[in-house]
Structure 1
């Protein structure tokens, strides 16, 4: 499964680098994960590979800074937005920028909307049942009457490669994850001010903002999804250059936020994080268990080891010139038809 793969990669780095092992840890707060029949890292760094896998499975992540004699940073992957902890400043007040306040607060708060696809449709062909599987999902975001009408004709239809999902349920889950990633962009919030107690991956409650006066307390709870901190010496070298506004503040936090409870599903398809593509034809050696001249299954499929696979990495589970070097691969035959043809083994 993806959690197992990510843990294995991190464990290898921890074993090879004692300093890294002391400062970096990992925790998965996710539901049950289905095992993958085959998973390959190709033309991507360990970081890119891990991020791709997390995005494929709809896992978001945050960093926890653990106090102690040896400071640690813990990567926490999650799929439940309600599992996120509250910020150290759980309630944040909005106020005018020209007001003198006794505590930190927000001086900027904005909401942004955009039109997203109203539905997602995926398709994947599997030769064993000899059929194309179809699945889809619809947007769950209320865009208002006009917004709903405007995006009603926008569909994200993306036929996938062969065997994209193990079964219809898994294909439906991938369609749902893709729609959730679209819905995440439908409405977002951004804020800024002198508040110092917020961190990405934590939630807070917004108080005294006129746009949310009629909202319930739950509707005023927001998760910080991205944060930028700006700090400088409060005694500028050139006092004459001291300016009003943002530049006059010795500390400022700007952040993006999402309502608490909205799935924080990262985008994967059609991004730079998508699965790398092959640059042309790949060469490989046909492999099998030691001592076996012929190693095929009932469909005449074979196993191979690509020439770029590194034997020194995972020799027992991926590059040992044996039957663990790949999944079963179909072989193109000279002729085939409905109930007739031939194959060589």
Structure 2
């Protein structure tokens, strides 16, 4: 048993100050990822600061028609929320596909965003891992890589981000609200996560002591159609081999807007900006959907053992876009 101290935060500023002052302190909310990593020896905090009782559990309408989701909102509650189901169905579907009911009842919005990779080498402390111990090497390269990255990886790390919710929120142009010792700031989710580069141990742009307090979603475009589709090795709870979050608006025979993010393919939820650029202004159809997928996947660099993910991602993206276009014409 590894000993650690535990404190219950009294308010947001208290939580931020306590964690900032101790380099081996961290925040605890649902704990569905952190506690697992502690059991595995991957995480060894000296102090856990419990933020689960702070008043961060609301889902509130914003003046511009968007939505503010508190950091402590449970995944089950968010998936079932009437506004999320009606205006952001992609997000609800991603949450429902992301974990078992028991985990969704405990996991929080911020914790979901901040969960760490499920790479088997990261979770095995007997193997070298640059994400766990910088400079030790990447055991996945040359190893078992079925679930690993085909986009944006580096020679230092080929792990992927595990969250389904984060993929949908990336496609929805979510903004993360963060509190630090100097006050509050907002970070677009597209800029929140880092690619591995030569520092794969740094998952996000957050500094030690930064506390996520909310996520804000802009209002959805009028007439949009959206979907989240996840391909996994079994129909019950499993992490994505590949997933697609996509939203289209179609008017007068052309695509007015497109927002797409891919999961299971990179160190962060992958915003498919190149595919979006091909789609906007084009007439919907399988040919243009295939062209968009090919444009995004031209930079794919699969590893020996996960080459199939390139073709799989292409097929899933084309199929999702086709379904959305068909819905738009009904």
Tell me, yes or no, whether TM beats 0.5: no
- TM-score, structure 2 as length reference: 0.22
- TM-score, structure 1 as length reference: 0.21
Give the structure with higher Rg (CA): 1
Bigger strand fraction: 1
